[in-house]
Amino acid sequence: MPPLSAAKKPTRYLALSGGVGGAKLVHGLAQVLPAEALMVAVNIGDDFEHLGLSICPDLDTVLYTLAGVVHPQQGWGRADESLGVLDELRRLGGPDWFTLGDRDIALHLLRSQLLAQGLSLSQVSNELARRLGVDVTVLPVSDQRLRTTVYTDQGALAFQDYFVRLRCAPVLRALDFVGAAQARLAPAVRELLTGDDLAGVIVCPSNPYLSLAPMLAIAELRELLRTVAAPVIAVSPIVAGDAIKGPTAKIMRELGVQPQAGIIAELYADFVDAVIVDVADAALADGDTRFDVAATVMKTAEHRAALARHCIALVQRLRS
């Protein structure tokens, strides 16, 4: 009889990500892990239909970042982009508040066509990743429809109306994730979370209210994160009392919450094993084992890889 082998060490990581901030850490993880060891589940609360096209901004930001074709300054949309369609649309009196570049439109056309043919959003995302040369698995958190509604001092707004058309200017009062109660996890994400090859879960430094909350509103995800044996860690998007980029700090103040890195441990208290805060917030880790410290401001590809290595080392430490 062959000798009993030791239990196989789990090898795969699940990253939860929104758009620009999360995509940077995902890019770091993709640099330091083999492609088959990384799956990214992405927020779909920002998705919408515009000019007849199905647009998934966070999925596209992650895909473009991993493909190395993202606009370097914006962090979303394509590098080397032209705006011929948008210019003509404006000339014809069409809506021009959402900047869709010509190359980007090609992707939305293809996604819209594949969805119309009956493919699930997971299948479409796999297909688009393949065509962009991305070998990491990038999936929507759910194949069902889940849309963020923002309640503001100017009334209820669809997410992109609030975020892009009104540039987050209205005062935010509350958020609703329409469809979350019915949404199930994308099958491959569930399989990884419930299987025996999960090494750890990394919650990327995305906006906890606009990007992570829609995902965590899927009861199945939150419950699995609470019960999963593998460590769950998060990276704070708040550094020294402000967001690195974007409206996170403004939104937190409007919701009556102090924008401090420590809040991340409270928001994710029911499932997170450790929160990585920036060196600027190192004092939080004094005598508080919930926190770990690293350089979290990712200005270069090397910074992204270094933070990714730190995340993996922390997961491995928590496992042992």
What mask, x for binding ligand FO1 by CB under 6 A, covers residues 180 to 219?
A: -------------------------------x--------
* Beta carbon nearer to ligand FO1, 150 or 294: 150
* Beta carbon nearer to ligand FO1, 46 or 273: 46
Spatial contact of 258 and 266, defined as CB atoms under 8 Å apart = no
Residue whose C-alpha is closest to residue 291's, from 258, 269, 309: 269
Among 12, 13, 16, 19, binds ligand FO1 (CB under 6 A): 19
Bridge-partner residues for 138, per DSSP? 40
Burial class (CB in 10 A: 0-12, 13-18, 19+), 306: middle
Among 14, 60, 129, 276, binds ligand FO1 (CB under 6 A): 60
Q: Is 18 in the site for ligand FO1 (CB under 6 A)?
A: yes
Q: Is 58 in the site for ligand FO1 (CB under 6 A)?
A: yes
* Beta carbon nearer to ligand FO1, 48 or 268: 48
Find where tokens 């920036």 sit: 278
- Cα-Cα-Cα-Cα torsion 310, 206, 252, 167, nearest 10 degrees, comes to 140
Paired tokens of 101: 């570049």
What DSSP assignment string belongs to 102-167? Answer: HHHHHHHHHHHHHHHTT--HHHHHHHHHHHHT--SEEEES-SS--EEEEEETTEEEEHHIIIIIST
* Beta carbon nearer to ligand FO1, 70 or 233: 70
51: left (phi over 0), alpha (psi -120 to 50) or beta: left
Q: Which residues have CB under 8 Å from 283's CB, separation 6+?
A: none
Interface of this chain with ligand FO1, residues 81 to 120, rule: CB under 6 A: 98-100, 104
Q: Is 79 in the site for ligand FO1 (CB under 6 A)?
A: no
Q: How far apart are CA 242 and CA 278, in angstroms?
A: 11
Size of the site for ligand FO1 (CB under 6 A): 18
* Least separation in angstroms between CB 140 and ligand FO1: 13
Q: Is 76 in the site for ligand FO1 (CB under 6 A)?
A: yes
* Least separation in angstroms between CB 146 and ligand FO1: 14
Q: Is 121 in the site for ligand FO1 (CB under 6 A)?
A: no
* Least separation in angstroms between CB 299 and ligand FO1: 19
* Least separation in angstroms between CB 61 and ligand FO1: 6
Which of these segments, 18-26, 264-272, 288-296, 303-311, binds ligand FO1 (CB under 6 A)? Answer: 18-26
* Least separation in angstroms between CB 60 and ligand FO1: 4
CA dihedral (317, 301, 278, 37) positive or negative: negative
Bridge-partner residues for 48, per DSSP? 55
Applying CB under 6 A, the residues found at the interface with ligand FO1 are 18-20, 46, 57-58, 60-61, 76-77, 98-100, 104, 160, 163-164, 211
